[in-house]
Amino acid sequence: MPYLNREQILTLIEKKHIYSDKSLTKNQIQPASLDLTLSDKCHRIKASFIPNNIKISKVIKELSLSKIDLNQNTLLEKNCIYLCELNEKLNLPNNIMGKSNPKSTTGRLDIFTRVITENGREYDFIDYKYTGKLYLEIIPQSFSIIINKNTSLNQIRFFQGTNIESKFKQINISVSIKKNQVTAYKAKKITSAIDLNKINFYKVSKYWEKIIPEDSYFIIERDEFYILRSMESIIVKNNQAAELEPFKDSFGNFRVHYAGFFDPGFGNSKSGTPAVLELRAYDTPFIIRDGQLVGQLNYYEIDEIKKETYGLSIKSSYSNQNLKLAKQFK
């Protein structure tokens, strides 16, 4: 199977194909992915970059505005760019590659993140046989955030073989918009920072505006960030993993779903669970209607997980979600 499950990721760790500056904890190992964690080494930088054939250490010297020590709680300011070294390092075999994406909470807080590798030519893709450090570019977009060492913002999935796009099923995903009901949340422009370690702490009303349409549509404004839910309820069985692939721009002038990975067991304990969708308009306002197509959910086979699938048993934060904001809000 192309996707590796928890047991297979543990084997990679045992064989030192994945190693870390700190002890890898059980909580980092998800049903079909590994949470990546920040080291104490971080820089505020002038611009995003792709290293290609230039050493990242050299790029940091060129772009660094200030060095940041994450051993203490640290404020990352909205719309600034940061590059942090991750604790985890890789020494991948010839037939295994990796792909990273933001964790659900990262996407719901509108934190734009991308993994960068030495000599990398593309964000978030870790090539076969890759050996070396991993770095995370972090751009808070709606809220300033407070983080520290060992915070996890991204996760990595591993694929075996070359046919990693061998999906066996796909379904279209659309948004649910109901008139006279809270159908979305829009991030407020002026707020205080959010400490990612404070769970069920912040009042929704101080950070979000409720969207209650008078009809089955509303307009998403340029440079505004919205949280919505899918019309469809999703079920990912224990021998599957799924990824939401946004449609291209010809379907609508917006970006959708930063964190698009669904672990084995998602929505599998009942009649399915809706996806929470993160939308941001590009250059112009855009009217979005109930049933508007936003992406395609691709299903992939994995070796079946017998226990500790996504859900309450492993303290998954969004197992019973509907229109749910990040876990920092109460």
Using the 3D structure, point to which of 106, 134, 160 is the last residue of a domain: 160
DSSP state of 129: T
Residue 230: φ, ψ to 5°: -80, 150
**Same domain assignment for residues 99 and 181:** no
Q: Where a domain ends, among 143, 160, 177? A: 160
Residue 328 lies in a domain: no
pLDDT at site 67 = 97
Give me the CATH number covering residue 265.
2.70.40.10
Please check whether residues 187 and 280 belong to one and the same domain: yes
Q: What residues form DSSP beta bridges with 29?
A: 34
Same domain, 83 and 121: yes
Please choose, from the candidates 76, 97, 288, the residue with its C-alpha nearest in 3D space to the C-alpha of residue 177: 288
Same structural domain, 24 and 83: yes
**205 and 149 share a domain?**
no
Is position 12 within any domain? yes
Is residue 103 domain-shared with residue 186, that is, in the same domain?
no
- Total number of domains in the chain: 2
- 1 in any annotated domain: no
Is the residue at 74 inside a domain?
yes
- The pTM assigned to this predicted structure is 0.93
Residue numbers in the chain where pLDDT is lower than 70: 1, 164-165, 247-255, 257-259, 310-320
Query: Does one domain contain both 201 and 56?
Result: no
107, two tokens: 């996407």
Q: Are residues 52 and 87 in the same domain?
A: yes
Number of separate helices (H) and strands (E) present in the chain = 3, 24
Domain boundary among 125, 160, 195: 160
Domain membership flag for residue 329: no
Do 175 and 304 fall into the same domain?
A: yes
Residue 326 counted as domain residue: no
Closest listed residue to residue 184, CA positions, set 154, 132, 226: 226
> Which helix (DSSP H) or strand (DSSP E) does residue 225 occupy?
strand 225-234
- Say if 231 falls within a structural domain: yes
**pLDDT, position 248:** 60
Does residue 325 belong to any structural domain of this protein? no
What are the distances in angstroms from CA 220 to CA 57, 176, 297? Answer: 40, 14, 23
Structural domain range at position 216: 169-314
pLDDT of residue 251: 52
First to last CA, the chain: 39
- The answer to whether residues 176 and 308 belong to one domain is yes
Cα–Cα distance for residue pair 49/54, rounded to 1 Å: 11
pLDDT score at 162? 79
**131 and 208 housed in the same domain:** no
- Residues 205, 125: one domain? no
